A and B are shown apart, each in its own frame.
Chain A
């Protein structure tokens, strides 16, 4: 316990250092980006001088507004250091209207390179082939997965799924069309799996179910089709559902790596599942580059451990600074662990999932 406390203190110190460095970077004329420099002028205080630790960010910055990522042109987010370098433009969600956009250069590679070190070589063999079935298009995930595969000496096949179209179909109650579209995606995925060697699959839970069902309808299974490891993310995975995936679809033979990530944060890693956890998945942000807090939506204060609250994200990299963004998710706050000595978020689901109908669809 004392050792964990020590680790927690060290992680906190690293986070404080990162907070100071990144805020200085974005709010200094020689390195910062136009958006934050202008913001500081209007705010009437100088974050570059006044932020001395991460808690200062929480205390002094308001919640980041997602409209800023919709309304502003991308160049306002370019730090001086990156000026003149073409950037990737990644988009989040978005069903109708202008989506949120985040620009970047190398950030997307960093989390995923680090993530590779946590993977089991048996489930995710090196120098082999992967298949990603999910949202590609303008999403960071597509490049990130390919990078992750490449880091492990693998190449990746892709089957696209447009979540905006699926959400629209479901919102308009065109369930037949949504089902037909999912079948279309599954057709493509299983065709690749039949004709090519694929050992790792990256997909959403619903698509995983459908792909497994198709394999079984054709007399096989995911395991028999060669899959040895599965990454799954994108929608809610409560403990029962996670257990179902592990026991029934993956037959406890295929490695299962749940993921929680997005364009604004990067990739959170999960605490390896154990029987004691009863399949409750806990994710840990890629701290100190990003910080997840679980807060009471009325007070903005962190909830107690094992309590539900809204997920708040702060991103702290030289490419992007985003303080206190309220995600559209809620989660249980979990305590630090040896591997990740900072707060975790568990059983993530859409914010207000218990009180309103959320369209998640196949994505």
Chain B
């Protein structure tokens, strides 16, 4: 068992209060994680400027190189963790054991994080739209086309209130350090692994430890992170999203309600897209916000639902160490039972049908964790209660809806994969502000292009583009034309 301390700007702090991270199958205590009280962060934030100052002493191009090195270390090296150390295999085993995600998916997530870190230069170029890195460092400069520009950091640090259930989200904060912005991380109680391993990899690669703080704790610690950091990214429910709506300091990542929309021009060939639908629903345990939770079409919906159910309904619970395991465990007591209760209640409405029922019981209850096997519902109208729902397992509702009503009826949608060749509809979809990531064509919802922004550009979130006027002579002198 490991003892993992609070990290106050990189300095270990042995809290008198600890939280146990437990193996979801065996009950083994994997680690004791020191818990920070909110006051610690409040006091440490007095040194937040120092985090950015130290990072600004390192050119961005060097920080990008450090990220590449950190990526390799994260993926391959044995790194210090608390009072012990951790191999890459330890990491995957521990993350799987506490989050319920199968081990091979944890390893896949490691590859994903590694890819992002290793391609930081290209990702950075895409996120900043090719901005000269020296302009970001200096805060102002002249673009190649001769226009003076200025980018002002809105906070010396980014606070991250991280979830327990989705290790995939960590890619979102990887570009922050190379932007010379410090990090305040509040890990999810069951997923301390990635923040601490990244810290170890970053610092071993040369990032100043004083640029990163890790403050594990309860909900009050999350609230303090939001209150104290000038810019914060949080993950939560639809209600959390509503709570922070309009708060420019907070970027909230809630449920995705990602969908596949079949256009009237292709819907009669629906059978050709069943594999794409099943992958979008089931891959990576169906837990991500980019996993498909709705398939919408104007006709053939009952056949589509039956075909998807046939494809995914038979998947069984497997041991998390099994390379074939496709389902993640619910490790929070009673959560799966409550979710299944909601689904059963929703299915009582006329017009809503549980299509995977014939493939056996969905809820699988174990001693310390539960599972829900892939579940497909059919709704004969977008007005049914279950037509626009999302749960953190492979779950989808196939909804019958006329194409001309779809954009209005789908509501907020993180990823919409619209399979159509109808350019008039594609134009309407392009203009639809309720869709964040838009795929036109036969593209799975889970296929992310890392060079594209996710729920808003992190550069726009952390930096404000503003007017900056000075004499040409000064600009030339300070920017050397750059």
How far, in angstroms, from A220 to B46 measured CA to CA in the complex?
13
Confirm or deny: B35 has a beta carbon within 8 angstroms of a beta carbon on chain A: yes
Near B by CB (< 8 A), chain A positions 194-214 give 209, 213
Number of CB contacts from chain A to chain B under 8 A: 27
Smallest Cβ-Cβ distance to B35: which chain A residue: A240
Near B by CB (< 8 A), chain A positions 208-252 give 209, 213, 216, 238-241, 243-244, 248-249
In contact, B40 and A278 (Cβ under 8 angstroms): no
- Quick one: which of A209, A216, A248, A279 contacts B16, CB cutoff 8 A? A279
How far, in angstroms, from A243 to B39 measured CA to CA in the complex?
11
Confirm or deny: B477 has a beta carbon within 8 angstroms of a beta carbon on chain A: no
Q: How far is the CB of B213 from chain A (nearest CB, A)?
A: 15
Q: How far is the CB of A226 from chain B (nearest CB, A)?
A: 21
Question: How many residues in B have their beta carbons less than 8 Å from beta carbons of A?
Answer: 10
A248-B35 contact, Cβ under 8 Å, with A239-B16, A243-B16 = no
In contact, B46 and A240 (Cβ under 8 angstroms): no
Interface mask (B1-33 → A, CB under 8 Å = 1, otherwise 0): 000000000000001110000000000000000
In contact, B17 and A244 (Cβ under 8 angstroms): no
User: DSSP class of A's interface residues: helix, strand, loop or mixed?
Assistant: helix
Chain B residues within an 8 Å CB radius of A244: 37, 39-40
How far, in angstroms, from A137 to B19 measured CA to CA in the complex?
40
How far, in angstroms, from A213 to B38 measured CA to CA in the complex?
13
In contact, B17 and A248 (Cβ under 8 angstroms): no
Chain A residues within an 8 Å CB radius of B42: 209, 213
Near B by CB (< 8 A), chain A positions 138-174 give none
A216-B40 contact, Cβ under 8 Å, with A239-B17, A240-B15, A240-B17 = no
Chain A residues within an 8 Å CB radius of B43: 213, 216, 248
Smallest Cβ-Cβ distance to B42: which chain A residue: A213
How far, in angstroms, from A60 to B106 measured CA to CA in the complex?
62
Question: How many residues in A have their beta carbons less than 8 Å from beta carbons of B?
Answer: 13
In contact, A248 and B40 (Cβ under 8 angstroms): yes
How far, in angstroms, from A248 to B37 measured CA to CA in the complex?
12
How far, in angstroms, from A238 to B36 measured CA to CA in the complex?
12
How far, in angstroms, from A238 to B17 measured CA to CA in the complex?
8
How far, in angstroms, from A183 to B93 measured CA to CA in the complex?
47
In contact, B39 and A248 (Cβ under 8 angstroms): yes
Q: How far is the CB of A17 from chain B (nearest CB, A)?
A: 40
Chain B residues within an 8 Å CB radius of A213: 42-43
Q: How far is the CB of B437 from chain A (nearest CB, A)?
A: 33
How far, in angstroms, from A278 to B18 measured CA to CA in the complex?
13
Smallest Cβ-Cβ distance to B6: which chain A residue: A240
Chain B residues within an 8 Å CB radius of A249: 39
Q: How far is the CB of A180 from chain B (nearest CB, A)?
A: 14
Q: How far is the CB of B333 from chain A (nearest CB, A)?
A: 12
Near A by CB (< 8 A), chain B positions 160-177 give none
Show the binding face of B for A, using Cβ within 8 Å.
15-17, 35, 37, 39-40, 42-43, 46
Show the binding face of A for B, using Cβ within 8 Å.
209, 213, 216, 238-241, 243-244, 248-249, 278-279
Q: List 25 A-B contacts (CB under 8 A).
A: A209-B39, A209-B42, A213-B42, A213-B43, A216-B43, A216-B46, A238-B16, A238-B17, A239-B16, A239-B17, A240-B15, A240-B17, A240-B35, A240-B37, A241-B37, A241-B39, A244-B37, A244-B39, A244-B40, A248-B39, A248-B40, A248-B43, A249-B39, A278-B16, A279-B16
Q: Which are the 6 A-B pairs with shortest beta-carbon distances?
A: A240-B17, A240-B16, A239-B16, A209-B39, A241-B37, A244-B39
